[in-house]
Structure 1
Amino acid sequence: MYFCGDFTPGRTAMTEQNLRPLPGPGLVQDVEVDDIGGALSASEWDFSAPRARLGAHGFVLASGSGVVRLESGATGIEAPCVIWLPSGMSASVRLEAGARGVAMTVSDAALGRVVPASSIAGPLRQAIDRPLVGMRLEAAAARATIRDLEEIRRETLEDLPGMREAIMSRLCLVLIAFWRLGEVAAQPQAAPRVLVQNFLQLVELNARAQWRVADYARTMGISTDRLTSAIRRATGQSPLELVHGRLLEDAESLLERSALQVREIADALGFRDAGYFNRFFTRLKGISPGRYRQRAQRLRASPDGSYAAWP
């Protein structure tokens, strides 16, 4: 049977009490899908034994954050991301208030039937036996996977002709997407030196766009933690400190060599307003942009052009 119903935080939703058969002779697969709709408080799912044996559990998050706890420890997660917990794995998932996405439970019977008889059968079966904990993905890919899961839910509710085939096709697409994410994660990762070079190149291109550290990590295809660790080992600074340093260099150059007003410089560097730029510059430089410009002008006007004119 196929099933879709409420996925109640704090418990596994697939139980004898709430499994409801839908029309269709010979349907022996169980697939449950439910929305995660931005709750006002944190939500938690407990997949401890014996509930862990009820099937595999997946989450696709479009927004929000949380933590996944396995026997090996806790891992923080941030959307957009995927969580896949194979059947039999004891775990818990806690999502902070406001998280949005889709959750699903797939029985072992469904997993056994959904894998196509093709060249990908072996790798796909191996993939669904491995966990994915907060695997990051592009926002567009998250939306596409969520749409596939929502279509599974719609099919179970509408009971249209060809329901079984439609559900299994959609589920296969979702599992293939998870398999591909696992394959990317298993690929050899770039050496720290290459990561640092790639990051610095991206900073040159995007610092003025006010990218967050998470934006750089996502573009590079790595986690924020790995990026931070590689940058700090190589430079002694955090990624954010390097981004701020690059913006500060541009600010100093514009203050020294251009006739732009401070508010125009703030706009050119991507700051939302001049006041925020003033606080940023003063915090890093110990002097306001206006006073910095005045000192630079006095230095240029000094007879010998030396730093003796710099107070």
Structure 2
Amino acid sequence: MAVYPHSLPDVHPDIGETPLATLMESEVMMPALAAREWVVEAARRQGRSHALLLTAGKGVATLRHGQLALRAPCLAWLPPGMAQSIRLEAGGAGYMLSAAEELVSRASAASQHAAALRNVADRLLHIGPDEMAAGRDMLCPVFEAVSHELRQAAKGAAGIAVAYLSIVLTHLWRMSDIDPEAPTGDRPGSVVFQRFLRVVEMHFREHWPISRYARTLGVTERRLHAASMRSAGCGPLAVVHERLLQEARIRLQQSPLPVAQVAYGLGFRDTAHFNRFFKRHMGMPPGSYRRRVLEEAGREDLTYSAWP
């Protein structure tokens, strides 16, 4: 792993400085006589995660690759860039919630099961009628409460919205077959370093300074640095940078979102900061990296198509 001696890029302002309405949307979908369709990746919703609670009827979510059949009661979680639209048949009803990465990150980190909830938030999940038998009655009031907070826009609404979003993620984790915690036994290094990796996984999008990682772990920065050097051969800042770069590469390769939305989803204030960070470590700006990956994929497809 290479050592990156640079400081972390600028971060988003605190959630309290950003109006809740710009970070989250909620819609109560009442029954209708005709089918309806919602464009999930509309401009104002790009880079957001979406939660759909279907309480009546059926529908379909059109994904980047394929479709997801929906039949009430069900709960679907759609990470950024995963879905294109949601169509409900006549009589369909439920709730739809969209949340920016800032809220999702804080909602997962607020739980004692933060690693598991972050794992949940990064996956496409569908909880069908069998698993939803008991969860529906508990989740309806949660979605109703989020809608109420968005309408009222009262003091502390963002904090309450984060708490409710954490409840939704917890229900998704409870009803899915995702392991409760990522195993640490196969991770190299000391207990301190293993714990550091888990905290990095939860907070690398927030661009914490290393001092905050050390404080969260209850160790000094010197001890954290020593543990990281012994286990990874580089300092803790390089570990954080490497995780951030890994996620950036994955999103640039797999997500249809523009570079600006990828940057925002990774916690950068603007595209310029992301471009500098990516180019400094990868030798090219993110746009060029994405074009190169697409060109290489196109050449591979051409090669395979020529096989007998």
Measured against the shorter chain, the TM-score band is 0.3 to 0.5
Relative contact order (alpha carbons < 8 A, sep ≥ 6): 1 or 2 greater?
2
- How high is the TM-score relative to the length of structure 1? 0.47
- How high is the TM-score relative to the length of structure 2? 0.47
